[in-house]
Copies of this chain bind each other. A is one copy, B any other.
Amino acid sequence: MCGIFGITGHPEASNLAYLGLHALQHRGQESAGIVASDGEHLRSHRSMGLVADIFTAPVLEKLPGEASIGHVRYSTAGVSQLKNAQPLSVEYAGGQLAIAHNGNLVNAPELRKALEADGAIFQSDSDTEVIIHFIARSKQPTFENKVVEALSKVKGAYSLLFLTQNQLVAVRDPYGFRPLVLGRLRNAYVLASETTALDLIEAEYIRELEPGEMVVIDEKGLRTSQPFAPTRLGRCIFEHVYFAKPDSVLFGTSVYETRKELGRQLAREQPAPGADLVIAVPDSGVPAAIGFSQASGIPYDVGLIRSHYVGRTFIEPQQSIRHFGVKLKLSAVRQVLKGKRVVVVDDSIVRGTTSRKIVKMLKAAGAVEVHLRISSPPTSWPCYYGIDTPSRQELIASNHTTEEIARYVTADTLGYLSLEGLGKAVGDTERNTFCTACFSGKYLAGQVSPEVAAQSAKDSAQSGAVAAEVAVATGPETVPGKHLTA
């Protein structure tokens, strides 16, 4: 997943990008980058790591100018590489260009193959790089036209920011999969994945970009257009369920309030009569747990404490004391749980291994019953539109019944929110403005075809091989009876 931020018209453009990216850090912790324009040159700094560690004062000083775009990136794909960090920046016939992308293009493998056949060379594994090639090859007279031509060839999810020496261009795909909001800070225009970034820099929220909208900001001011054929909406429902920061306003509604409503709906659909208390898996499960408590009347309490000190660098020591896993991050509050029948609310179950550890931890701390409630439907399908999910066979819900999952995670009962309930909670009863592919398998913008996906995985492994740094994935845990990886 990724977060993007852009600003133009402010003398401290890079400093503000830095703050904005910090506010969007939850959208990607693997790498971060900022490109700034002083009207003549683009200057770039990208690195693996967290925004606050990468952008020190001396680094920011080397990124002068009144316009900048920034990007934070996260990939579970196992291969972390600097070359895939964004914004990408290149030179082409039109001058200098940088691009920051949130989303994923489903036809990137085919497009890449075609471009390569036509002599293009690729330096990253990123799907984003094809867009730059199409812009560079476009014969359109203006940069905006080049962008439109390039994007007319790609399919999938994209919220994009482009920076040239003198223009900042923002585009959102016609489905509106990924969010992108527009704000103002005095004379400057600001673009960000979420409103929380506007709030931090005290910018005024103007509006969300429309799906399919393109905004161009330059010396002539801001102008907007709708250059793409309209289609039905496909706003990512998982942003509301889990991904976005709770204080953001997303697709027009409050993330926090939506999550509480998910919890309320969940309580109605999957009650836990007789339970003594409702707790959350912190922090993401908190709003839904409060909603569940409100709707059910079962008191809310804190049964799990989250450590503030677990970073990506935490290495478990060897041998007998391995496998501390989630225990390093969460600790159970014995006195709250002891002898209690506990409802524990989480936003989703991916592989099931973390849920299993949490349930066991709660029981070890004295809970006599653990009723796991999930504020979304079973996650059964991989996302091809920008969220990093494992393959279908790794998703426990894709090949196990709820009962089997309950047994695996050792919960006394397990209840998921229904797809209908989800739609209702987000105010889309017909479920025709959101993308629910991860729950329903309905892929609005197509999916990567099996052959291409396989080839793509191979390509990705190959090009992933040209990597300076390789993150090591931790091993699976086997579920007896079925071939389920962790």
Contact = CB atoms under 8 A, between A and B. Distances in A.
A449 interface: no
Contact of A462 (B96, B199, B299, B462): B96
Given A196-B331, A333-B247, A137 B119 contact: yes
Interface string A234-259: 00000000000111010000101100
A321 B15 contact: yes
A51 to B, nearest CB: 7
A52 B317 CA distance: 11
Contacts of A119: 92-93, 120, 133, 136-138
A247 B334 contact: yes
A172 B258 CA distance: 50
B52 A311 contact: yes
Interface in A121-147: 121-123, 132-133, 136-138
Interface string A321-333: 1001001100111
A301 B307 contact: no
Copies of this chain, tallied across the complex: 4
A62 interface: yes
Contacts of A254: 333-336
Nearest to A23: B331
A318 B466 CA distance: 23
Contacts of A19: 317, 321, 324, 328
Interface stretch (A35-43, A264-272, A384-392, A414-422): A35-43
A466 B43 contact: yes
Interface of A: 12, 15-16, 18-19, 22-23, 25-26, 29, 35, 40-47, 50-53, 56-57, 60, 62, 89-93, 96, 113, 116-123, 132-133, 136-138, 196, 199-201, 245-247, 249, 254, 256-257, 283, 286-287, 290, 294, 299-302, 305-311, 313-315, 317-321, 324, 327-328, 331-336, 461-463, 465-470
Given A15-B319, A96-B463, 9 more contacts: A12-B317, A26-B308, A40-B465, A45-B468, A52-B315, A60-B317, A62-B470, A201-B321, A300-B300
